[in-house]
Amino acid sequence: MNDRPEEACGIFGVVAPGREVSRLTFFALFALQHRGQESAGIAVDDDGHLTTIKDMGLVSQVFKEETLRSLSGQAAIGHTRYSTTGSTRWANAQPVCHSRNGHTLALAHNGNIINTAELRELMGPYGVKYSSTSDSELLAALIAMNPARDIRDAVAGSIPKIKGAFSVVILYEGAVVGFRDPWGIRPLCIGRLDDGNYAIASESCGLDIIGAEFVQEIEPGQMAIITEKNLELKQVVPPADRQGLCIFEFIYFARPDSVLEGMTISEARQRMGEELAREYPVEADMVIPVPDTGTPAAIGFARESGIPYGEGLIKNRYVGRTFIQPDQSLRQHGIRVKLNPLASLIKGKRLVVVDDSIVRGNTTGKIVRMLFDAGAKEVHMRISSPPITHPCFYGIDTSTSTELIASTKTVAQIRDLVGATSLEYISLEGLQRAVGMPAERFCRACFTGNYPVEVPAGAKMSKHRFEQVEKEPVA
């Protein structure tokens, strides 16, 4: 099991007649691969004819040169998935498609819907047959069944019915529509290509790779409609009184080179490391990161503390997600498939090891043991997020508190379990200082239990909650 909070998905959309939109989408998804590695898909509209190709695996595994050549058209959307509702299987790959007024609508979704039972009941009279067990197909059906003739009105009429986290792109009749929940939980931004056309992406790194200039973020509750060389923005619902951008975008999810809320993610993470060094100083010989997401914070810690920075753990950057399981002898090596200690550098050293988070504690314990086995004299763990004590219902795969080691154990108990010389987490106040924005702008429920969007009483939020009903008719 991975010891990281896993996020939902990366999404992208573009309208660019005369350009190879499937190729633009491929590279954008390639840049957004960190947001999900289970499946990938692209839907292309060619003069009203929509073609979708999706499969399990990484973007580069799903799409080959001949596949992209076959996906010609003027507009496209794409998706790379990590599952938070619905199991890991082909039927749950996106984009999802649904018939609307004799045309095909394709939808890609990042987030998690919490009023799915209510929406399924609402869709009951339409007799919708679901082919997947994801909440994203439910969104597609909701918008497709809306009686409004114009897709803008259909989306605008559907958004107020949806509760939870949703950043979405839709491809319909040559236009791409992007919209974001009124709490702004998941990011979504707009870029302009050099030919005057527009694109929408989960993060600015998905725009950078195709040479698009960042224009703006889609605001909470806002809808963006892109057609040929045209961008239309509409505030569909008012922003929620309490905003809820997931603060883990700054800690872990977003790529270090992305810009969010006007700040480069790497800059925010370095500030987290600086705060950690001020809050929990330690005498040590070297600061090393758990690569790659711990690297910026480790740089900040080293800079603030004056302790030299080094690379004591080497990451195999070609591991990714694989469907090939190691045999028993390889399985015993565990974490070494991904990380290997540089023994000549760390032997006899007092190490500060900086990581972004501890979810379950299993991987952290293995890293600590590996460093001691390689000759480290002391291992002082420093974590650039506060302890994760509460589950997330908005698109992070921690829907139950039993998965979270900090929900039942103190910092001292966790330190003893992972075997570190010392263990300290950044304070919530220190984290907020690092991002430089008020706490009211963020969802921090995984640290505080204070949720911006109330989860319906008795709601079943397991990622497999639709599995048992997938073959049953909707009531």
pLDDT at 338 over 50: yes
Q: Which has the higher per-residue pLDDT, 34 or 328?
A: 34
Q: How far is Cα 105 from Cα 141, in angstroms, rounded to an integer?
A: 9
Which of 62-71, 107-116, 196-205, 463-472 is predicted least confidently?
463-472
Is the pTM higher than 0.85?
yes
Radius of gyration (C-alpha) of the chain in whole angstroms: 22
**pLDDT at residue 394, as a whole number:** 87
pLDDT band (50, 70, 90) for residue 314 = very high
Q: Which has the higher per-residue pLDDT, 396 or 295?
A: 295
* CA–CA–CA angle 35, 36, 39 (5° rounding): 150
Return mean pLDDT, the chain.
90
**pLDDT at residue 327, as a whole number:** 63
pLDDT band (50, 70, 90) for residue 326 = low
- Alpha carbon distances (Å) from 341 to 46, 62, 268, 351, 365: 51, 33, 27, 12, 14
**Mean pLDDT of the region 239-251:** 94
pLDDT at 231 over 50: yes
Q: How far is Cα 210 from Cα 26, in angstroms, rounded to an integer?
A: 10
Q: How far is Cα 26 from Cα 287, in angstroms, rounded to an integer?
A: 37
**Share above pLDDT 70 across residues of the chain, in percent, rounded to a whole number:** 88
pLDDT at 18 over 70: yes
What pLDDT, in 10s, does the model give residues 143-184?
999 999 999 999 999 999 999 999 999 999 999 999 999 999
Q: How far is Cα 454 from Cα 29, in angstroms, rounded to an integer?
A: 32
Q: What letter would DSSP give residue 309?
A: B
Give just the sign of the alpha carbon dihedral 332, 337, 343, 347: negative
Q: Which of 9, 189, 246, 446 is catalytic?
A: 9
Q: How far is Cα 118 from Cα 451, in angstroms, rounded to an integer?
A: 20
Domains in the chain, CATH or no CATH each? 9-244 (3.60.20.10), 263-316+334-436 (3.40.50.2020)
**pLDDT at residue 332, as a whole number:** 56
pLDDT at 322 over 60: no
**Mean pLDDT of the region 434-440:** 95
pLDDT at 442 over 70: yes
Token duo for residue 230? 């045209």
446 is catalytic: no
pLDDT band (50, 70, 90) for residue 1 = very low
**Mean pLDDT of the region 443-463:** 77
**pLDDT at residue 83, as a whole number:** 58
The dihedrals phi and psi of 402, each to the nearest 5 degrees, come to: -65, -20
**Mean pLDDT of the region 309-321:** 81
**pLDDT at residue 88, as a whole number:** 56
Place of tokens 């984290």: 431
**pLDDT at residue 334, as a whole number:** 64
pLDDT at 287 over 80: yes
What pLDDT, in 10s, does the model give residues 110-146?
999 999 889 999 888 888 877 877 789 999 999 999 9
